Amino acid sequence: METLTNLESFVRSAETGGFSAAARRLMLTPAAVSRNVAILERNLGVRLFHRSTRNLTLTEEGERFLQAIRTNLDDLQAAIANVAAHRDEPAGVLKVSMSPTLGIGFVMPLLPDFLERFPLIRPEWHFENRQVDLIAEGFDAAIGGGFELLPGVVSRSLATLHLVAVASPVYMQGRAFPADPAGLATMDGIVLRQQRTGRIPVRMMLNSAGVEMPAHIRERIVVNDPAAMLQAALLGLGVSILSAPVALPLLESGKLIRLLPDWYADAGAVSIYYASRRLLPAKTRVFVDFIAEAFRQGRLTKSFAGVLG
């Protein structure tokens, strides 16, 4: 009978497209994963992968074998994880990806309470402005917005993110306030070039009456990081459309002014992403539930929607 390790090495290599990516997920060496797959092939008497220096692709026999065992393997792993979850307190390294602005400003303050409840969990948090491949890169979860749902990944919505137009009091001194988003076209714009697409998006803004209007801001300064947009706005260099939770504390302190109080851009949902296994490891399950509850009960949901106070 084949060992669970050999079967898991085969399935994860097929899912990730390589021994190295599978090894990172399984916390083994690439050589060990390759050896496990070779043993499985020898025992079955068939070749499961076509191998080259660049690619690892399933043979016809490999495709059939993957379809036959994948669900059963996931069920078996879920059963093992469930037993461990009920036996032990949630523990281990919790690897999570999130943007620096979201993670440091809003998720990090939740960490003391989380660790007080689950002291055996060791956070390994990566702050980066990109969508990670949860399975291939070995992440337990990711928090962000607009992610493509890759195979084997599900999402849970946390809050709706609004964007608001802001400028510093110094910049607005002697300038007329715009009546609607069209009025932003005459002002110096601090705009964001998106790293994933290389584009500068034109935000569609909406008011309480349901009227939509594009915000065509003159591109005076172009940056590729939201933190740089914020700093440029604080320096009085122009108008920027920032995420509401980032802008709100500065609006409340008077360091920034909201130019169109009745208008906002809907940036979609901020969600937490995690593997779609029916029974998650206890450390991941409690983290997902904890973050969702923090957004539901605290000021975060209102903050992300741009509600003052």
pLDDT at 82: 64
What average pLDDT does the segment 258-275 reach?
93
Contact 271, 143 (CB under 8 A): yes
**Fold (CATH) for 92-159+269-304:** D-Maltodextrin-Binding Protein; domain 2 (3.40.190)
| Count of beta carbons in the 10 Å neighbourhood of residue 151 | 7
Size of the chain in residues: 309
Q: Per-residue pLDDT tens for 201-217?
A: 899 999 989 999 999 99
Token couple for 212: 């939509």
Among the residues of the chain, which ranges form H helices? 4-16, 19-26, 30-44, 60-87, 100-102, 111-117, 134-137, 169-172, 226-234, 244-253, 282-297, 300-305
Q: What angle do CA 141, 143, 149 make, to 5 degrees?
A: 75
- The boundaries of every CATH 3.40.190.10 domain in the chain are 92-159+269-304
Residue 271 has pLDDT above 90, yes or no: yes
Going by pLDDT thresholds of 50, 70 and 90, the confidence category of residue 138 is confident
Name every residue whose Cβ is closer than 8 Å to that of residue 301 and which is 6 or more positions away in sequence: 158, 159, 295
Token couple for 12: 């994860």
Of 102, 126, 99, 106, the C-alpha closest to 195 is: 99
pLDDT at 305: 63
pLDDT at 309: 47
Q: Per-residue pLDDT tens for 172-211?
A: 999 999 999 999 999 999 999 987 788 998 999 999 899 9
Name every residue whose Cβ is closer than 8 Å to that of residue 60 and which is 6 or more positions away in sequence: none
Phi, psi of 148 (to 5 degrees): -75, 130
Please give the Cα distance from 193 to 225 (Å, whole number). Answer: 8
- The boundaries of every CATH 3.40.190.290 domain in the chain are 161-267
- Read off the pTM: 0.66
Residue 308 has pLDDT above 60, yes or no: no
Please give the Cα distance from 138 to 62 (Å, whole number). Answer: 23
Residue 51 has pLDDT above 90, yes or no: no
Burial of 117: CB neighbours in 10 Å, binned 0-12, 13-18, 19+: exposed
pLDDT, the chain, mean: 87
- Please name the CATH architecture into which domain 4-85 falls: Orthogonal Bundle (1.10)
- Please give the class, per CATH, of domain 161-267: alpha beta
- The boundaries of every CATH 1.10.10.10 domain in the chain are 4-85
Please give the Cα distance from 135 to 277 (Å, whole number). Answer: 11
Say which range, 43-47, 71-75, 186-190, has the weakest mean pLDDT: 71-75
How far does CA 264 lie from the centroid of its chain?
A: 23
Say which range, 4-18, 36-50, 118-132, 290-304, has the weakest mean pLDDT: 290-304
End-to-end CA separation in angstroms for the chain? 63
| Count of beta carbons in the 10 Å neighbourhood of residue 178 | 18
